[in-house]
Structure 1
Amino acid sequence: MNGWTLSPALGWPAGVALAVIMTACAIAEIVIHIRRRSASDETAASCVRRTLICLLTAVAVLTPSTVAETTSKAVNATDIVIAIDTTSSMAVKDATYGDATTISRLDAAKDAVHDLTKAYPAASFSAMSFGASASLDVPLTPDTLAIDNWADTLSVEPTTTSSGSSLDTPLDKLLLTLKDIRQRHQNDTIVLFLISDGEQTSTTTRRTYSSLRRYLDDALVLGAGSTTGGQIPADGSDDSPDGQETWVTDPTTGQPGISKLSPDTLSTIADELSGTAVMLDATHTATDSLPKASKTWRTTSTAKTRQRTTPVVWPIAIAIAALLAWEFGAWVGMSRRLL
């Protein structure tokens, strides 16, 4: 339903304050005219004109606007694709993100996703997770809340389903996803964010990510964890109470295995993507070295109805300009008579 509302361009506090001041000026003009009517050469027309200027200015600062319902939304022509490693090693609690607090690698990845949705509030996002297999969890959408909720619900895969970490697991799914986005939005800026600890335990040779470059404008590879490493929870949980964990055993030593961040591997993947690698820690977050967003916008339609507010100030501005021109003309005429 269409309607009218007030939406002060200067904000409600400043808008209301200015409106009150201008209304007080209008009232003061009327009171002064009445009290000094016999001793002043101000005409009734001049009083009405000046009162209207004050009142119209008071209305203008409150910014009258029309409200209309719409299912279309202007979004920035930037498409963000996020791929997060959810293998069991991402449960290791050796990561930091923005401060010295130690958290799991997956929690650091979640914090990174929240920072990305804040950094690109008007962009479109697609999200996938990968472990033993890759899954496109959220198709391309401008709904950043959906991406934040997706990140919050992520969990690492159980060690019983793991067959060794292979960093090329998401490659095929990424290739299909990026190709589809490029075909549907040929002029968009497409950016890939890959978040992983860089650990490759599979015996197979990792395939290169260079095949994705044709569909990308930029890429940022984010590393979660530390080079010191940590033990992997056997239940695949990243939230087990301290002191109650059981650890994944290294079959070659019979001792709890140590998983370490591999900056070299992640940097190599970034080079294959012609992108940048950033290792997340207490001083480096996902907002470091962020690729630039597109300078263009496009319109998208959704099933969700939203309200669009459009300011309608121009008729008031024309009326105020006409009254000011009248006031200036009256002042010029008065000045000539006084000469």
Structure 2
Amino acid sequence: MTLSPAFPLPLVVAVFVVLLGFVVWQLVSRGNRSRRLSWSLRAAMVVLLLLVALRPGVSGGGGVEATTDVDVFFVVDTTTSIVAEDYDGSDPRLDGVRSDIVDLVEAYPGAKFALLSFDSSAIVRVPLTSDATAIANASEVLAPEITIYSTGSSISQANDLLASTLERAEQAEPDRSRIVYYFGDGEQTSSAPVESFEDSAQFVSGGYVFGYGTDAGGAMREQTGYYDDDKSDDGYVTDDSGSPARSVIDEQNLRAIADQLGVEYAHRTAPGGAPRADASASSIRSDSDPSGGGVIELYWIPAAALVLLVAAEAVVVLRRLREIRAAADRQGSGA
């Protein structure tokens, strides 16, 4: 059995101790049997959450395993313009992003990967992991922000998050190379000034800025957050005249980001052939391990159990809310 914590182990333990302490206190202080049962389930959730964070695994089959001492960071623009339909003809740009991420994951066997995305805010969707499947799956479910919540896109929204994420990775394992891929169209519609990615450059060993879109631009489907039977949103984003708005690529902005990061720029117009930044020769090695050629991660088992418990908790909460509402209605009618 192996453990590969998603966060520094002291932090995982500290959070676990605080959460478990609170749950146990609630469990002991509750006299009602049903309340104790609810808090017992919550205690189980905390334990399952710990197991997910610890990322347990078992050794895989024997053989020669390629190991890459490289951390690869994917930074994806998920503002509304990323679904503009001018990639490989009339496909959404996001299709190209997904395709390129899958190809790049395969290009770095044995590496660790992280996935960041940004629209009105920037988040780490997948922290550094050696589970390449997790990154591929996460990229497949990437979705743009809801249109009505959009307040304009800033191409530098992720600059602070990327810098802090890279810095933590460098502090944890300074001998590893760090490669950054930025995926976007360069369109700046926010009134906020464009900020620089230069704070990240000191931690970057190589990478690319991939640009998507055309000078002619493409229309963007509205993103409502729910889908019809055809699995697509209805309607297009419109401009002030009521006509479909068009998003165009801004390669000048994208090249500026590449210069700030110290990486190269590439315009992506069709699937396949995505250029990759080469890791240094010292970063790639083959390890012979007759007892196990890899790690089979098992965190998905407690994660699945955690999802079931959370669903059960949601049902209980909804039931109690209905009971409270019914009681309030009875009191109102009695008055």
Q: What is the TM-score with the length of structure 2 in the denominator?
A: 0.62
Q: How does 1:31-70 map to 2 (within 5 A)?
A: 70=59
Q: 2:297 aligns with which of 295, 304, 313?
A: 304
The amino acid across from 2:81 in the alignment is S
The answer on whether the counterparts of 2:155 and 2:188 sit within 8 Å (CA) in structure 1 is yes
Distance (Å, rounded) in 2 between the aligned partners of 1:151 and 1:84: 9
The amino acid across from 1:266 in the alignment is L
Q: CA deviation at 1:255?
A: 3.0
Unaligned runs of 5+ in 2: 2-57, 288-292, 299-335
The amino acid across from 2:297 in the alignment is K
The amino acid across from 1:93 in the alignment is E
Q: How does 1:25-104 map to 2 (within 5 A)?
A: 70=59, 75-96=67-88, 102-104=90-92
Distance (Å, rounded) in 1 between the aligned partners of 2:173 and 2:157: 25
Q: What is the TM-score with the length of structure 1 in the denominator?
A: 0.62
Q: CA deviation at 1:169?
A: 0.9
Match of 1:287 in 2: 274
Distance (Å, rounded) in 1 between the aligned partners of 2:232 and 2:158: 34
Q: 1:108 aligns with which of 80, 96, 107?
A: 96
Q: CA deviation at 1:74?
A: 6.5
The answer on whether the counterparts of 1:104 and 1:238 sit within 8 Å (CA) in structure 2 is no
Match of 1:47 in 2: none
Match of 2:5 in 1: none
Distance (Å, rounded) in 1 between the aligned partners of 2:251 and 2:200: 21
Distance (Å, rounded) in 2 between the aligned partners of 1:153 and 1:123: 22
Distance (Å, rounded) in 2 between the aligned partners of 1:178 and 1:112: 21
Q: CA deviation at 1:102?
A: 3.4
The SS at the match of 2:127 is: strand
Flag the structure with larger Rg. 1
Q: CA deviation at 1:239?
A: 8.7
Distance (Å, rounded) in 1 between the aligned partners of 2:134 and 2:82: 22
Q: How does 1:252-331 map to 2 (within 5 A)?
A: 253-282=241-270, 285=272, 287-288=274-275, 290-295=276-281, 296=283, 304=297
Q: How does 1:131-210 map to 2 (within 5 A)?
A: 131-210=119-198
The SS at the match of 1:215 is: coil
The amino acid across from 2:209 in the alignment is V
Distance (Å, rounded) in 2 between the aligned partners of 1:150 and 1:286: 22
1:241-288, CA deviations, whole angstroms, 9 ceiling, x for partnerless residues? 69984222223x443221101111101110111111101013x85622
Task: Specify whether residues 270 and 232 from structure 1 end up closer, same or farther in structure 2 by C-alpha distance, changes over 3 A only.
Answer: same
The answer on whether the counterparts of 2:59 and 2:296 sit within 8 Å (CA) in structure 1 is no
1:171-207, CA deviations, whole angstroms, 9 ceiling, x for partnerless residues? 1111111001111111111010000011100011100
Distance (Å, rounded) in 2 between the aligned partners of 1:94 and 1:84: 17
The SS at the match of 1:177 is: helix
Distance (Å, rounded) in 1 between the aligned partners of 2:180 and 2:224: 27
Aligned residues with identical type, % of pairs = 29
Which structure shows the bigger proportion of residues in helix conformation?
Answer: 2
Unaligned runs of 5+ in 1: 2-68, 306-339
The amino acid across from 2:216 in the alignment is T
Aligned-residue CA RMSD in angstroms? Answer: 3.0
